[in-house]
């Protein structure tokens, strides 16, 4: 595969893979606000796919472009899972080599792989040889005491020498002993400069920076140094920021949708979602922060939180929550 296929324009802005968050429901909601952003699945264990749990790969064609993130440590098994992911229509395959969650530590993959960069490289080669779509790596700048600049270079160079030309680099180290997954998102200090330095050393390696990025202005600043930006928790806390991504990041000649327009489309999406046999709260939970920062948003959130799990919950609850917010205004 030629180098220029490893990073597409869509990769300029991406929404991070997040366990229990970036479900198909979440991704379909994101698409209401941005047609261009690259979306990611939750991390899916390669073994689960190979044991026939293909429901974990279900997605709507409107979610594309979308990357399937895989977790695992056996290069052969990862390659087999990657092939299935390609057959399911995903845009690219990403190997999780940086997540410090309990789920990945117990399975000997995720951030644990950073202690063995050659294994990451071997997995990359097997996976890329198995598919025609791009294979990328998501990792961090260090792990436990292996956290100096030279070790970051060692990780990246090993992956680079294996042929990988797009890495998502979280600008924090991972502490596997002593910090919870939640604490790993905030306590290890951010080191954006190190990511910039890595980009300078590997000029033809596309680097997407991740970690602590909150606003689109932050994104534009980072994009002067690296190829792509990835946001995670910021999108959970304020999903409406996606409504400006196509205009601000991709320079599209489009008008931002209002929050009410987005809400109306989410209501329509909920109707389709329920007709497919899903539960209302599986989608509604992702709209809890749609009005973050707006007057009355607390009433909206409280009402939706209190009602969305009811057995007879319907999409109209979103509009009822909105009306309560308007009454406060």
Residue 264 lies in a domain: yes
Q: How many domains does the chain have?
A: 2
pLDDT value for 103: 60
Residue 157 lies in a domain: yes
Nearest CA-CA partner of 133 in 186, 94, 187, 184:
94
Is there a single domain that holds both residue 227 and residue 267? no
pLDDT value for 152: 97
Is 271 strand, coil or helix? helix
Specify the pTM. Answer: 0.95
Is there a single domain that holds both residue 316 and residue 232? no
Look up the domain containing 306 and give its range: 259-328
Is there a single domain that holds both residue 179 and residue 121? yes
pLDDT value for 124: 98
Which of 222, 248, 274 is at the close of a domain? Answer: 248
Nearest CA-CA partner of 195 in 184, 181, 211:
211
pLDDT value for 302: 97
Check which CATH number belongs to the domain holding 320 and give it: 1.20.120.1460
Q: What is the DSSP letter of 255?
A: P
Q: Which helix (H) or strand (E) holds 131?
A: none
Q: Using one digit for the tens of pLDDT, what is the confidence trace for 219-253? A: 999 999 999 999 999 999 999 999 999 999 999 99
169: left (phi over 0), alpha (psi -120 to 50) or beta: beta
Under-70 pLDDT residues of the chain: 1-5, 102-108, 329
**Do 230 and 208 form a contact (C-beta atoms < 8 A)?**
yes
**Do 218 and 249 form a contact (C-beta atoms < 8 A)?**
no
Is there a single domain that holds both residue 244 and residue 282? no
Catalytically active residues, by annotation: 99
Which of 216, 248, 280 is at the close of a domain? Answer: 248
Check which CATH number belongs to the domain holding 22 and give it: 3.20.20.70
Residue 89 lies in a domain: yes
Q: Using one digit for the tens of pLDDT, what is the confidence trace for 124-148? A: 999 999 999 999 999 999 999 999 9
Is there a single domain that holds both residue 74 and residue 98? yes
Residue 254 lies in a domain: no
Is there a single domain that holds both residue 16 and residue 84? yes
Is there a single domain that holds both residue 178 and residue 264? no
């Amino acid at each position: 595969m030629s180098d220029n296929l490893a990073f597409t324009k869509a990769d300029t802005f991406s929404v991070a893979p997040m366990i229990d968050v970036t479900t198909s429901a979440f991704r379909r909601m994101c698409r209401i606000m941005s047609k261009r952003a690259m979306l990611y699945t939750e991390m899916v264990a390669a073994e689960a796919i190979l044991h026939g749990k293909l429901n974990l790969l279900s997605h709507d064609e409107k979610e594309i472009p979308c990357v399937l993130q895989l977790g695992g440590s056996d290069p052969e098994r990862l390659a087999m899972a990657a092939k299935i992911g390609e057959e399911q229509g995903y845009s690219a395959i990403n190997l999780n080599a940086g997540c410090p969650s309990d789920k990945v530590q117990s399975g000997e993959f995720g951030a644990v792989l950073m202690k063995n960069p050659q294994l990451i490289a071997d997995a990359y080669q097997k996976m890329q040889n198995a598919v025609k779509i791009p294979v990328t790596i998501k990792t961090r700048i260090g792990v436990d005491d292996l956290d100096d600049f030279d070790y970051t270079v060692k990780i990246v160079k090993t992956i680079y020498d294996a042929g990988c030309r797009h890495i998502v680099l979280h600008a924090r180290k991972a502490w596997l002993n002593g910090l919870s997954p939640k604490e790993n998102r905030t306590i290890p200090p951010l080191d954006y400069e190190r990511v910039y330095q890595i980009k300078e050393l590997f000029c033809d390696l596309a680097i997407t920076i991740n970690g602590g990025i909150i606003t689109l202005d932050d994104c534009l600043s980072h994009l002067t140094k690296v190829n792509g930006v990835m946001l995670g928790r910021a999108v959970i806390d304020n999903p409406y920021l996606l409504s400006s991504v196509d205009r601000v990041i991709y320079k599209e000649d489009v008008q931002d949708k209002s929050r009410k327009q987005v809400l109306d489309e989410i209501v329509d999406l909920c109707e389709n979602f329920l007709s497919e046999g899903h539960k209302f709260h599986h989608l509604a939970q992702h709209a809890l922060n749609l009005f973050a920062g707006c007057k009355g948003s607390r009433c909206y959130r409280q009402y939706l939180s209190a009602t969305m799990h009811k057995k007879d919950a319907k999409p109209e609850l979103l509009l009822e929550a909105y009306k309560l917010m308007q009454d406060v205004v």
